[in-house]
């Protein structure tokens, strides 16, 4: 079974020790709200636990692309197009 960590950076690394900042960078976390995916293994788990005060973690089956994440966040438009206007 495929398992991925979905890591969301919740807290900034400003003012924190270099080791923590570099660990965050290693996980691809550059600023708050950034979401990255990592396969479940010892190395990634250890890095996430190093940043346990700064991140939120979920377990997912497969990673999403960044533009797919953006689409998930987007507010629903409030309407659906049943058919195009020029479909006669």
Partner 1 sequence: MFPTPQRLGGYLWKIPYKMSQLQKARQRKRLRAVDNVIATVGAALNAKNISLRKLDYLTSAAFPKESEMPAKDKYWIFSKYGRNYRKGAHRQPKFTKISNRTVPPGF
Residue 64 engages partner 1 in binding (rule: CB under 8 A): no
CA 82/CA 44 separation, integer angstroms: 45
Q: Which two tokens stand for residue 13?
A: 């690394």
Q: Which two tokens stand for residue 50?
A: 């190093």
Task: Sketch the per residue contact string, 13 through 52, with partner 1: x for CB under 8 A, - otherwise.
Answer: --xx-----------------------xxx--xx-xxx-x
Q: Which two tokens stand for residue 46?
A: 């250890």
Q: Which two tokens stand for residue 16?
A: 């924190």
Residue 59 engages partner 1 in binding (rule: CB under 8 A): yes
Binding footprint of partner 1 on the chain (CB under 8 A): 1, 3, 5, 10-11, 15-16, 40-42, 45-46, 48-50, 52-59
């Amino acid at each position: 079974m495929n398992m991925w960590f979905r890591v969301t950076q919740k807290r900034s690394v400003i003012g924190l020790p270099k080791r923590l900042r570099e660990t965050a960078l290693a996980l691809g976390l550059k600023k708050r709200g950034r979401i990255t995916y990592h396969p479940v293994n010892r190395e990634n788990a250890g890095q996430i636990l190093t940043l346990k005060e700064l991140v939120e973690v979920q377990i997912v089956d497969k990673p999403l692309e960044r533009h797919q994440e953006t689409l998930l966040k987007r507010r629903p438009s409030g309407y659906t197009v049943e058919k195009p206007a020029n479909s006669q």
